[in-house]
Structure 1
Amino acid sequence: MTRFVMVAGAWLGAWAWDEVVPELRGAGHEAYALTLSGLAEKQGIPAGQRTHVQDIVDEVERLDLRDVVLVGHSYSGVPVGQAAERIGYRLARVVFVDSGVPVDGESALDGFPSDSVRKSLAENGGYWPPLDPADYAGQDLTDEQITRMVTDGTPHPGATLTEPAVLAHPLGDLPATYVKCLLDGDELPAPADELVASGRWELVRMDTGHWPMFSQPRELARVLVESATRS
């Protein structure tokens, strides 16, 4: 039995994993979906990058979990990667799902062209509003799924995107799988690309869009379980 703690990306809460959690539990595993501070039912709670790292660490310790597979999607790969080294012996593996990865001293916005995001934060009181429906086109999502993501998504606290990551050890020390969703492109962020190329991290490709917990929840659950066996 594996214990999964899953964290969705920007604008999303634990509800994003509603179709993945039953698949994992039905296969005999423990699965916990976490909402980060400032989002969904925790909207209004002040949050920066360090807050989100602590959210994840606190959840693992509160549940007293061992042999944990931490799963970070999109933005959440950055705090999940930091939390992974913080939970020490409790960690079995990290799975980065089409996500950013933490780089010591850099923020979540430093790894890609982010002028439009920074402009949006400045225009919206330090928050990043959910995307427009048209921005989800071509990502293997139904109209109903897009509507839910737009209507249930909450503005993302900007400080979590601009505060720098803090790592005590090289990122490659983490046992990790990177899941690349091909409809969102086939390039991996640095330094995940180098770690995969060197064989230190496993790479799994999924023929779907950036939000596989919606578009292919059963297949994503299978990928997570298979990744856990590499631990």
Structure 2
Amino acid sequence: MTEFVLVAGAWLGAWAWDEVAGELRGAGYGVHPLTLSGLAEKRGVPAGQQTHVQDIVDEVERLDLRDVVLVGHSYSGVPAGQAAERIGDRLARVVFVDANVPVDGETFLSGWPSDPVRAAIEKHDGFWPPLTADDCAGQDLTDDQIARLLRDATPHPGATLTEPAVLTRSLAELPTTYIKCLLDGEEPLDPVRELLGSERWELVRMDTGHWPMLSRPRELAEILHQSAGREGVRVHRWT
């Protein structure tokens, strides 16, 4: 049986996947939403980026999961991409949801104007403070969804953003689906654009914002279902 391991992005915990997880379980899959160290119910646990990589690897090994579809959203694409190569033949596919991807030797903050984030981390004792309502505007979220996001988000451990990724081979070798959420920008980041040239990578666009597990959970669950191989993924390759 295909087993989904779902990892949400910065500030979020396993709770963010509640609706998607319900849809996937209803379709007969094993589903394992994961809260990373230092977030949500694990707030207070010290964490760097490699801690988060190990969180994912440990979950897969602890549950002895096989045929794993590993899903990383936003920031969590960085640890998920590293974990994907470390779980070896347990992996069936990686799905990046509007995510950053790891680049060997680079940090999450590499390649974009990150001075405000670094300043915020320094000002807030090593943590990236959670979202504001303004950050959620224009992202296809209802007022209730925004309220939940603001209520349940927790400060994100800053060290996870400033430690470099460690890869031993190219992500282009991994079977991958990349989901681009168009309300958060129509073009993927440069490292993603390069990887989409691989025959093993597929691109799916969603006409929603950066948090599709909240704004479009059924549609996202359907794309994940397709990525598991029961049906062909509707692919729109970036050109």
* TM tier, smaller: over 0.9
CA distance in 1 between partners of 2:191 and 2:158 (Å) = 23
Q: 1:21 corresponds to which residue? A: 21
User: In structure 1, what is the equivalent of residue 109 of structure 2?
Assistant: 109
Task: List runs of 5+ in structure 2 lacking aligned partners.
Answer: 234-239
How many angstroms does 1:115 deviate by?
1.3
Q: Is the 8 A contact 2:172 2:198 kept in 1?
A: no
CA root-mean-square deviation? 1.2
| TM-score when normalising by structure 2 | 0.94
Count of residues in Structure 1 that have an aligned counterpart in Structure 2: 231
Q: For 2:146, what is the secondary structure of its paired residue?
A: helix
What residue is the counterpart of 1:148 in the other structure? Answer: 148
Q: What displacement does 1:111 show?
A: 2.9
Separation (CA, whole Å) in 2 of partners of 1:197 and 1:105: 22
Cα displacement string for residues 4-63 of structure 1 (whole angstroms, at most 9, x for unaligned residues): 000000000000001000100001111110000000000000000000000000000011
Counterpart Cα distance in 1 of 2:122 and 2:35: 24
Query: Equivalent residue of 1:147, what SS?
Result: helix
User: 1 CA distance for matches of 2:9 and 2:27?
Assistant: 25
Q: SS at the partner of 1:222?
A: helix
Which secondary structure does the structure 2 equivalent of 1:96 belong to?
Answer: strand
Residue 206 of structure 2 aligns with which residue? Answer: 206
Are the counterparts in 1 of residues 9 and 73 from structure 2 also a CA contact under 8 Å?
A: yes
SS in 2 for 1:112: coil
Which residue is equivalent to 2:82? 82
Rounded to whole Å, the distance in 2 between the matches of 1:51 and 1:197 is: 30
The residue that corresponds to 1:56 in the other structure is 56
| Contact 2:95-2:176 at 8 Å conserved across structures | yes
Shift of 1:198: 4.3
Give the structure 2 partner of residue 183 of structure 1. Answer: 183
Identity fraction in percent: 72
Q: Distance in 1 between matches of 2:72 and 2:165?
A: 15
Which stretch shifts more, 58-67 or 190-199?
190-199
